[in-house]
Chain A
Amino acid sequence: MVETKELEEISRKIRRDIMVMLAEAGSGHSGGSLSAVEVLVSLFWNILKHDPENPAWEERDWFVLSKGHACPVLYAVLAARGYFPRETLWTLRKLDSILQGHPHRLKTPGVEFSTGSLGQGLSLATGAAMGLKRQGKPNSVFVLTGDGEQTEGAIWEAGMTAAHYRLDNLCAVCDRNYLMIDGNTEEVMGLDPLPDKWRAFKWHVIEVDGHDLRQLTYAYQRFILEKKRPTMIIANTIKGRGVSFMENQADWHGAAPKKGEQVQQALADLGFTAPWEEYMKHDFDWLG
C-alpha cells in the first residue's frame, strides 16, 4: 500500500503532466482529466493488479476509461507507471502519435478498449466482467464513467445487465463533478438522486470524496469484499480540480491551457514554478 502522502504528491505531478501535455497539444479536455486524478492514482498505485511490462498479462485487472475524452489523465498515469516513456506524452493528438485524442486500444499500451463515444464503456466493461466470470477467472474490471455520460440510456441498460448477472467483479466509478458540456448536470439533464438510482438498480453504491485518496482506496477495498453485486463508487469531485481558473468552469471541459502564461499559471496553482517547457525537456526523475 502506498502512503497517502506519497499518493498526494503523485497526484500533483499527474496534474502537472496533464497541463503540460494539453498545452503542448493545443487542444483537449482539461476539466474532466483533472477531476479524475485521485480516482486513477489510488487505483493504479494501490489496487489494480497489472504489469506495465506486459499489458496483456492474463491475471491483470482491467481498467476501462468510459469517459474517453479524459484520456490525458489516463496517459499521464500510464506513462508514470511505465507503460511507455514519459516523452510520449508530448505527442498527444499529433499526427503519428500513439496517444490519440480519445483512447485507442490498438495504439496505446494499457488501453483495453477504444472509447470516446460516451455511454459504451460501461457496456464494454460489463461484457469483459461477464466474460471473465463465465470462464471462472478472478480478474476484476474497473470502469470510469462521467456523470454527464450517465444521461446515456445505454448506461442504464448495462446497469441492469451487470446487476442481473450479479457481476461482483465489476467496479464502476462515476466522476460526479456535476458538469457536462452545456452546464450543470442538474440544469441540463437532472441525474439526482443518482446514488438512489443505482441502489434501485441493485448495485452496491459507495459515495466518497473523489479527491480523498484514503476514502477512494477504502472504497475499492470494499468493492473487492462485496459479493453478488456490482459496485458503483460515486466520487464527488470538482471539475478542473487543482487549477484555480478551471475549477467548476464548464468552459474548461474541452479546452487546453495556452502555451506560455496560461499553462504557467496552471502549474503555479499546482506548486510548480519552473518554466513550463522544462517539465517536458529533460527526463528528470519523474517524482522529483
Chain B
Amino acid sequence: MSLIRVENLAKEYVNGEVVTPVLRGVSFTVEPGEFVAIMGPSGSGKSTLMHILSFLDRPSTGRYEFEGLDTSEFSDEYLAGLRNERVGFVFQSFNLLARTSVLDNVKLPLLYSRVKKSETLAKEALAAVGLSHRLDYFTNQISGGEKQRVAIARALVNNPAVLFADEPTGNLDSKSGNTVMQILQNLNDQGRTIILVTHEQETARHARRILRVKDGAILADERVLDRVLAFSDKELVK
C-alpha cells in the first residue's frame, strides 16, 4: 500500500469572476521511506500541492488517497487528527508562536493529542535537531537556522508518517540551510518519509527522487543519481 496516491488532482482558486487554475491534473504515488523533492519555478503550484497533501487545504477535483483511504470522505475533525498525528509540516517562514519558549512551541501539537509525556517527547524532538541547549529561549532570541530546527522538531514531535517541508532553507544562509538539509537526510536515513519543496536544483539533489512541476503539472519524475550529502557537522547534530 502506497503512503500517498494522487490521481488527476486539480486545484483552482475562484475570485469572483476570475478562476485561476493552479494544479491541472497531477498524478503520482509516494511509498513509505521515500525522500521526494518537488521542484519547479516559483508560482508553479508546488506549495498548493503540498498544502493539499498535508491536509491544510482540499483539492478542487481529483482523488487523494492517504494510507489507502480516500481523503475526500474525511470530516474536518478527522483531518485535524491526521494533521496532528500522521503528518508534520515545516514552513518556509517558520510560523513559530511569538513570545513563547522553544519548548512550548514544540509541545504545541501535543496539546491537541492524547499524549501524556509531552514534556519528554518535546525534549527528545529538540535533541534530535540539536537544540537541547535552547529549551527555554524565546523564539525571538534564536537565529533563523535554529528557528527552522525548532519547526522541524515541532513537526516531528508526534512521530508522523510523513514530514512535509516547503522550501525549508529558503530563508536561511547556506550554512544553516545545510544543517537543515542534513537533519532531513538523517531523518530519512532513519526511515522517515520526507516530501520537500524547492525551486533549486542543488537543494532538490539532497532527495532521492525529484518530481519536476511546471504550470501545475508534473513534467518529470526522476531518481536522483548524483545525490548531494549535506556535510556532517557533529557539533550541530548529534
Partners in one complex: no
